[in-house]
Amino acid sequence: MSQTYRLAEKGRLDRSQKLTFTYDGQSYTGYRGDTLASALLANGVKLVGRSFKYHRPRGIMSAGSEEPNALVQLEEGARTEPNTRATVVDLYDGLTAASQNCWPSVKFDLQSVNQKIAKFFPAGFYYKTFMFPASWWTPVYEKIIRRAAGLGKSPMERDPDSYAQKFAFCDVLVVGGGPAGIAAALAAGRTGARVILADEQSEMGGALLSDDALIDGQPALDWVAKSLAELDRLEDVTVLPRTTVSGYYDYNYLTALERVTDHLGPQADDRIPRQRFWKIRAKKVVLAQGAIERPLVFADNDRPGIMLAAALRTYINRYGVMPGRQVVVFTNNDSAYKTAIDAHTAGASVDIVDLRENPTGPLVKQAEALMIRIHKGCAVVSTSGKHAVTGCEIAKLSADGKSLVSDTTYIGCDILANSNGWNPSVHLWSQARGKLTWDTEKNCFIPGHAGPWLPVAAGSGTGAYDLGDCLSQGFAQGAAAAKDAGFGSGEVPKTPATAPLVEGPDRMVWTIPGKKPLGHGKAKHFHDHQNDVVASDIHLAAREGYLSVEHLKRYTTTGMGTDQGKTSNVNALAIMAEIRNAAIPEVGTTTFRPPYTPITFGAVTGQNRNHLFIQERTSAMHPAHVENGAVFEDVGDWKRPWYFPKTSKSGATETMDEAVLRECRQVRETVGMLDASTLGKIDIQGKDAAEFLNWIYTNKWDNLKPGRARYGLMLNEHGMVFDDGVTTRLADDHFHMTTTTGGAARVLGWLENWSQTEWPQMEVYMTSVTEQWAVCTITGPNARALLADVTSMPLDPETFPFMAMQEGTVAGAPARVYRISFTGDLAYEINVPARYGLHVWRALQEAGKTHGLCLYGTETMHVLRAEKGFIIVGQDTDGTVTPMDLDMDWIVSKKKDDFLGRRSFYRTDTKREGRKQLVGLLTENPNFVLPEGAHVVEDVKPKPPMKTLGHVTSSYFSPNVGRSIALALVADGINRKGDTLSVPLMNGHVEKVTLTDTVFFDKEGVRSNG
Amino acid sequence: MAKASSLYPGITIDTPLSGRNPIQADGLVVTELPFLGKITLRGDAADPAFAAAVKSVLGTDLPTQPMTSQRVGNTRVFWKAFDEWLIWTPEDAEQKLGADLNAALTGLRKSVVDVSDYYTILRIDGPRSRDLLAKGCVIDLHPRAFHPGQATGTGFHHATIFITQTDSDVFDIMVRWSFADYLWNYFADGAREWAA
Amino acid sequence: MFLVKCPWCGWRDQTEFSYGGEAHIARPLEPGQISDAEWGDYIYTRRNTKGVHAERWSHTQGCGRWFNALRHTVTDVMWDSYKMGEDAPTPPKDWDGMTCCDDHKKLAEGAKK
């Protein structure tokens, strides 16, 4: 096929660049500058899809982002994209697209049977039909609905494209690059302000691209070109075509989607991001997004070939396509006459059907002078044609617009352009919490009271359709916005000369009567083309009591498609207003929500995917862990060695259980080494540091000697444990605190909070030093001998006792060595500045060869500490556990009058009996390892519910104890020690457990001496 | 960059970005400034004794205006908060400076902490530096909004960073050791679109 | 994504800050002398203001300092922030949460000219 409907000469196309594309398997050609829609129309393709609910044939209705019908599946494979509007897809060579929502083909669609049984598909059909039983929802109904109502298909492969984000700042953001927007950008840009001008179209100019207007006696597009050249010269002005401002958030934070390479297709340089998601913080925002034409709601107004009047004009003038030979223009206003005149000039046979009895504007006179047939006071009352419109019937309307007062006349046509007036694009205004006002003269919502961020509006988005008004508003608002942002004097550039727009009044008939009363017969009056909602659905909703606009929307699905009702919402509101005999603003508007048009997940994600999705934090020793074959565990966002499986000479690698058993045994037999760098560390200095710790911890700190360490529990004001760790006094006024890995940031925040807001008079400063220090923990009977090989520090227990700290060198590097233990065995935590971490780890590993050193990970650490009954905050506690619940009264000072959380100990609930308390559990079967989280009960019933007494918090097989061990929080557990309770499991097994002390290994605590 | 320690013979020292080649693209070079000394200083700037003692060691007044800094030779002093400063020193100068500060400030309300290895510094140099930073930085780096010598803490996606402008197109970004790999990879990925 | 005014660093992106709940809740000086109900009030009871709300913020990623601020809970507009220990500023009685103190200063300056 060879672009049969292409006009010679006309249009903003580069005809030297012929592009080949494929639609539904058929090859076509178009030109650079086409959209997929204009290229399809040029080739005579009108039927492009099937509708959502009834599977009716649908064509191209608009020439912009408001398109409800022409949704296509763009490209195939990994790059396929569903629900793409053919009207905004720039044509590129090799483009492949297919119609969607049809099977087996768009011309013969089996589900079009839906329209034959349409009377069974009224509004609320899904709610009423797929209701009971509720258990059928997921397995049965959802599948039926999804198959029947799906739009396009999601890609199933990884997206091969890259995406970017950009955080931008500007003084003035201008949304919309039509005459008002360009004028605003010029006025603001000339002041030196930072200006961003964004428009969703591939080129700036807005409505002027489809028009033949003059500015200062020259073609308006010359003024556009001249203005863009000036903006280009202004260093701080950024002009963004193909960029849709999609959301307007608090404090003038707006998001915009720039389609960087979409117009080049998959051949684009893959280093360039396909799309860029802008996050713009603007001082002032000028909204100049223009207006969207409203369709008329008449019988069978959805056949392919029926389109908006201004869209037809765009296809003729901007894309050089006259998509039919016989055109009917059906209108309630003067603006559609321009379409009729341009179609006539382009060689089509044109009939105008005007709802008005006596239209009088100059455009009407002009059409009459061209001898275009005008049917006044008439309406289109039916249309015909199977896969595209072939004709329509018109008739005279009664004065109230509710009935026909003449016989019908048939007019053959292959294009039916229609206009019901215009809706200013108020979406962003409304997103910014601005109010809308109904303009009774122009019959549309216009921006009213502005929201807190005080955007301003200019151009046809305010209901000003005169070009001179658009320009002067743009200049004025641009200059004012720049001044508000601190640039320029507010002086408004002079508006160039334009011809004034003179138009007669509109006639509003919100539902055009058909040949039969609404809802009778087969004819359908669509107001929402995308979601297949018809005028009679609104009547049904009203009859069933869904009168409020929010109910109407949800009940009928009006405006809930991907087009968000850009062409349908106001018609629906007006029809409901008529039914309720109310004014349109009384019915209200639905909430406009971002995004203005659909945006890809890729753009929202930007670079934050794969290895950049979340940071993977590693310690200074990480390269050694990788070399040593560690398997890593995610601890928060840290990658910590979980265990170090060994591979035998035969190539068999240990399982996790095997590796952990070996590591657990070897630590207690010889010596093990753990990377403990991730523990939180806080340097605390000041003369009140000890006093501060007295407030923060439950025990006393002023009596700790320099060089000595102490374990502490931190409570919140509810008296509940929220972190623990060992803190060392380095000097009288200097402490080194450690926290849990996960609690590092939380604890620092907690200390800063109290220091800054409640006790600013205390002389104490906190500084996080978590990653300053790399920490190698060595523990086990041989730990002292190993350390002696790499340090000259005195290690004898008298000079370097348990809970003490020494400074010196280890393996030649400066170190602080803390003799503290989380395993119960002799242990040293060797802290070195992180730059030495890898060296010291490797040196210890080397020296350890003669001491039976084994590397161990977090799993073995967990088993070893559980053998000793040491808690892990967040695992054995859950925010409801006091020190007394942990049987740790010994750490609560009786001498201090107050510390954080203390008062809550005396609350009724905290001191009551029967609270859950931490105990040990021994299973009847010593080899059975309880699942963590399992419930502990007294009376086992055949099935839940059973009264639960608590749950298992930690559970392991301990090779050193020679059996399984567990910790649990059990009601009144401390008093119940020795009792036997039960743990019933999901699989029906019931394990008997005996409550014990929490210390399973080395109950006398002698091993920490080595 | 891993290298031999100049203070402790026979020891190899590392940074979180040891072994990385610079990120290079059209108008852009990203490198690591390894092993700079970094000290967190806290105290009461309104106390004349504190201000004088610090000046006697640093040779300059502490910056007291938010987001400003001072430079003395190769040492840079940044306002971090009203009672907190960050000092960058040349490699291996931090121990002496820390000791001198502690000595001069004896008896005063203060805290001096060596955080040289907590962080590393990435330098972004070139006319594209602002474009690269705009991929994740939530502060305005336009020449009218941010200029050489200014510095502040802020965020870059998941990373908390401290950023200062060093020269017209040069930004130095301090980031925690464990986030350096993430930030470096983010910059490398972000620079692809300008790859030479 | 609103802006928060740090008393030192100025208006900055909300993502740099942490929220700290209602401001001006002092810890009882002698917890041992008060009833469970009074202690419970201190821990749990908070206003749920519609309108002007005094609240705590910390410039976590910036200077790391806590401060107080007045925010209008209907519009999320922050009137102004103030340092710990300072008295809260007083927005106009009829403040509708549509403008911040800096807007008002600008308007006042404009009126003088």
Same domain for A431 and A394, yes or no, is no
Q: Does B182 score more than 80 pLDDT?
A: yes
Task: Give the model's pLDDT for residue C106.
Answer: 73
pLDDT tens-digit series, residues A334-355 = 999 999 999 999 999 999 999 9
Distance CA A991, CA A930 (A): 8
How many C-beta neighbours within 10 Å does residue A466 have?
16
Q: To the nearest whole percent, how much of chain B has pLDDT over 90?
A: 97
- B135 and A166 within 8 Å at the Cβ level: the answer is yes
Of B111, B135, B195, the CB nearest to A767: B111
C-alpha distances in angstroms, A1 versus A22, A43, A304? 12, 7, 19
Is B19 near chain A, with CB under 8 Å? no
Least confident window among A560-564, B45-49, B171-175: A560-564
Task: Give the model's pLDDT for residue A902.
Answer: 96
With beta carbons under 8 A apart, name residues in chain C contacting B66.
Answer: 8-10, 63
Let me know: does A707 contact A721? Beta carbons within 8 Å: no
Determine the Cα angle at A872 with ends C21 and A644, to 5°.
Answer: 125
DSSP percent split of chain B into helix, strand, coil, nearest 5? 25, 35, 40
pLDDT tens-digit series, residues A899-954 = 999 999 999 999 999 999 999 999 999 999 999 999 999 999 998 899 999 999 99
Instruction: Count contacts between B and C (CB, < 8 Å).
Output: 41
Question: Which amino acid type is present at position A42?
Answer: A
Closest CA to A559 of A586, A583, A528: A528
ipTM of the complex: 0.98
- B118 and A770 within 8 Å at the Cβ level: the answer is yes
| Cα of A782 vs its chain's centroid, Å | 54
pLDDT tens-digit series, residues A612-671 = 999 999 999 999 999 999 999 999 999 999 999 999 999 999 999 999 999 999 999 999
With beta carbons under 8 A apart, name residues in chain A contacting C17.
Answer: none
User: In a 3-state reduction of DSSP, which class is residue B124?
Assistant: strand
Q: Phi and psi dihedrals of A842, rounded to 5?
A: -65, -40
Those residues with Cβ within 8 angstroms of residue B178's Cβ, 6 or more apart along the chain or in another chain: A615, A617, A618, A619, A638, A771, B16
pLDDT tens-digit series, residues A274-296 = 999 999 999 999 999 999 999 99
Query: Which chain C residue shows the shortest CA-CA distance from A719?
Result: C43
Closest CA to B25 of A146, A168, A272, A643: A272
Those residues with Cβ within 8 angstroms of residue A151's Cβ, 6 or more apart along the chain or in another chain: A52, A71, A82, A83, A100, A101, A562
pLDDT tens-digit series, residues A494-513 = 999 999 999 999 999 999 99
Is B154 near chain C, with CB under 8 Å? yes
Task: Give the model's pLDDT for residue A775.
Answer: 98
List A777's β-bridge partners, or say none. Answer: A674, A829
Domain ranges of chain B: 20-35+118-194, 37-114
Calculate the dihedral angle through the C-alpha atoms of B81, B84, B90, B91, rounding to the nearest 10 degrees. Answer: -110
- A717 and C42 within 8 Å at the Cβ level: the answer is yes
Closest CA to A353 of A311, A381, A325: A381
Q: Phi and psi dihedrals of C28, rounded to 5?
A: -55, 140
- Domain ends where: A721, A744, A768? A768
- B81 and C65 within 8 Å at the Cβ level: the answer is yes
User: In a 3-state reduction of DSSP, which class is residue A505?
Assistant: coil
Same domain for A348 and A371, yes or no, is yes
CA distance C20 to chain B (A): 19
Q: Phi and psi dihedrals of A604, rounded to 5?
A: -65, -40
- Domain ends where: A419, A436, A452? A419
pLDDT tens-digit series, residues A43-101 = 999 999 888 888 889 999 999 999 999 999 999 999 999 999 999 999 999 999 999 87
Closest CA to A41 of A68, A18, A23: A23
What number of H helices and E strands is found in chain B? Answer: 4, 13
- A673, part of any domain: yes
- A165 and B114 within 8 Å at the Cβ level: the answer is no
Those residues with Cβ within 8 angstroms of residue A936's Cβ, 6 or more apart along the chain or in another chain: A921, A948, A949, A950, A951, A952, A968, A970, A981, A982, A983, A993
- A452 and C98 within 8 Å at the Cβ level: the answer is yes
Q: Does A255 score more than 80 pLDDT?
A: yes
DSSP percent split of chain C into helix, strand, coil, nearest 5? 25, 30, 45
pLDDT tens-digit series, residues B139-148 = 999 999 999 9
Partner C, chain B 172-191, Cβ-Cβ below 8 Å: none
Task: Give the model's pLDDT for residue A52.
Answer: 80
- Residues A357-373: what's their mean pLDDT? 96
Task: Give the model's pLDDT for residue A519.
Answer: 86
- Overall fold of domain B37-114: Alpha-Beta Plaits (3.30.70)
Residue A755 tokens read as 């220091």
Q: To the nearest whole percent, how much of chain A has pLDDT over 90?
A: 89
With beta carbons under 8 A apart, name residues in chain A contacting C31.
Answer: 898, 902-903
- C65 and B138 within 8 Å at the Cβ level: the answer is no
Same domain for A706 and A750, yes or no, is yes
Let me know: does A329 contact A418? Beta carbons within 8 Å: yes
Instruction: Count contacts between A and C (CB, < 8 Å).
Output: 59
First to last CA, chain B: 24
Of B118, B158, B178, the CB nearest to A618: B178
Same domain for A329 and A392, yes or no, is yes
Confidence class for position B186, pLDDT limits 50, 70, 90: very high
pLDDT tens-digit series, residues A11-20 = 999 999 999 9
Within A544-686, residue ranges assigned H as helices are 549-556, 569-580, 584-587, 601-605, 622-627, 656-669
Strands (E), A24-162: 26-32, 49-50, 57-58, 71-74, 81-85, 96-99
Partner A, chain B 55-84, Cβ-Cβ below 8 Å: 83
Those residues with Cβ within 8 angstroms of residue A285's Cβ, 6 or more apart along the chain or in another chain: A172, A173, A174, A175, A248, A252, A254, A432, A453, A455, A456, A481
With beta carbons under 8 A apart, name residues in chain C contacting B139.
Answer: 12-13
Domain containing A362 — which CATH number?
3.50.50.60
pLDDT tens-digit series, residues C2-25 = 899 999 999 999 999 999 999 999
- Residues A162-175: what's their mean pLDDT? 97
- C36 and A906 within 8 Å at the Cβ level: the answer is yes
- Residues B44-59: what's their mean pLDDT? 97
Is B196 near chain A, with CB under 8 Å? no
First to last CA, chain A: 91
- Whose structure tokens read 């905004």? A88
Same domain for A256 and A344, yes or no, is no
- A898, part of any domain: no
Confidence class for position A146, pLDDT limits 50, 70, 90: low
Closest CA to A384 of A376, A394, A392: A392
Distance CA A582, CA A1 (A): 52
DSSP C77: -
Distance CA A78, CA A138 (A): 28
Chains that touch B (3 or more CB pairs under 8 A): A, C
Partner A, chain B 91-110, Cβ-Cβ below 8 Å: 109-110
Same domain for A410 and A384, yes or no, is yes
Distance CA A645, CA A655 (A): 7
What CATH number was assigned to the domain covering residues B20-35+118-194?
3.30.1360.120
Test the C interface: residue of B84, B111, B154, B173 with most C CBs within 10 Å? B154
CA distance A611 to chain B (A): 8
- Whose structure tokens read 């410039």? C59
- B193 and A638 within 8 Å at the Cβ level: the answer is no
- Whose structure tokens read 């041989």? A782
Confidence class for position C87, pLDDT limits 50, 70, 90: very high
Let me know: does A455 contact A286? Beta carbons within 8 Å: yes
Chains that touch C (3 or more CB pairs under 8 A): A, B
Confidence class for position A133, pLDDT limits 50, 70, 90: low
Q: Does A148 score more than 60 pLDDT?
A: no
Confidence class for position C105, pLDDT limits 50, 70, 90: confident
- A253 and C66 within 8 Å at the Cβ level: the answer is no
- A784, part of any domain: yes
Same domain for A719 and A825, yes or no, is no
Q: Phi and psi dihedrals of A342, rounded to 5?
A: -70, -35
Q: To the nearest whole percent, how much of chain A has pLDDT over 70?
A: 95
Higher pLDDT, A860 or A50: A860
Confidence class for position A129, pLDDT limits 50, 70, 90: low
With beta carbons under 8 A apart, name residues in chain B contacting A741.
Answer: none
Task: Give the model's pLDDT for residue A716.
Answer: 97
Let me know: does A230 contact A223? Beta carbons within 8 Å: no
Of C13, C15, C62, the CB nearest to B153: C62
Domain containing A973 — which CATH number?
2.40.30.110
Higher pLDDT, A147 or A1007: A1007
With beta carbons under 8 A apart, name residues in chain C contacting A749.
Answer: 18, 58, 60
Distance CA A111, CA A961 (A): 69
Name the helix (H) or strand (E) containing B59.
none
- Whose structure tokens read 């215009």? A422
Q: Does A117 score more than 70 pLDDT?
A: no
Same domain for A212 and A186, yes or no, is yes
Those residues with Cβ within 8 angstroms of residue A863's Cβ, 6 or more apart along the chain or in another chain: A660, A664, A956, A957, A958
User: In a 3-state reduction of DSSP, which class is residue C22?
Assistant: strand
With both helix axes pointing from N to C terminus, report the angle between A656-669 and A858-867 in degrees, rounded to the nearest 10: 60
Task: Give the model's pLDDT for residue A113.
Answer: 62
Of B14, B40, B136, the CB nearest to A767: B40
Of C2, C85, C97, the CB nearest to A760: C85
pLDDT tens-digit series, residues A654-697 = 999 999 999 999 999 999 999 999 999 999 999 999 999 999 99
- Residues A734-738: what's their mean pLDDT? 98
Q: Does A150 score more than 60 pLDDT?
A: no
Same domain for A285 and A311, yes or no, is no
Same domain for A329 and A406, yes or no, is yes
First to last CA, chain C: 34
Please report the domains of chain C, with CATH numbers, ordered by start residue: 3-112 (3.30.2270.10)
CA distance B50 to chain A (A): 14
Residue A966 tokens read as 């567990």
Tell me the average pLDDT of chain A.
94
Number of domains in chain A: 6
Q: Does A833 score more than 90 pLDDT?
A: yes
Determine the Cα angle at C35 with ends C32 and C40, to 5°.
Answer: 100
- A509, part of any domain: no
Task: Give the model's pLDDT for residue A900.
Answer: 97
Task: Give the model's pLDDT for residue A202.
Answer: 96
C-alpha distances in angstroms, A283 versus A174, A194, A197, A255, C9? 11, 10, 14, 14, 18
Same domain for A60 and A203, yes or no, is no
Of C1, C18, C40, the CB nearest to A253: C1
Same domain for A330 and A411, yes or no, is yes
With beta carbons under 8 A apart, name residues in chain C contacting A454.
Answer: 98
- A753 and C58 within 8 Å at the Cβ level: the answer is yes
CA distance C82 to chain B (A): 14
- A149, part of any domain: no
- A587, part of any domain: no
- Whose structure tokens read 């409203």? A294
Structural domain that includes position A762: 682-768
Residue A1009 tokens read as 């001496």
Let me know: does B85 contact B101? Beta carbons within 8 Å: no
Task: Give the model's pLDDT for residue A591.
Answer: 78
Q: Does A103 score more than 90 pLDDT?
A: no
With beta carbons under 8 A apart, name residues in chain A contacting B110.
Answer: 685, 765
Q: Does A1 score more than 60 pLDDT?
A: no
Q: Does A486 score more than 70 pLDDT?
A: yes
Is C61 near chain A, with CB under 8 Å? no
Is B111 near chain C, with CB under 8 Å? no
Name the helix (H) or strand (E) containing B155.
strand B151-156
Distance CA A332, CA A852 (A): 93
DSSP A758: I
Of A251, A749, A760, the CB nearest to C3: A251
Q: Does C113 score more than 70 pLDDT?
A: no
- Domain ends where: A96, A112, A128? A112
Of B158, B178, B193, the CB nearest to A271: B193
- A771 and B113 within 8 Å at the Cβ level: the answer is no
- C9 and B82 within 8 Å at the Cβ level: the answer is no
Task: Give the model's pLDDT for residue A443.
Answer: 94
Closest CA to A857 of A1010, A736, A678, A653: A678
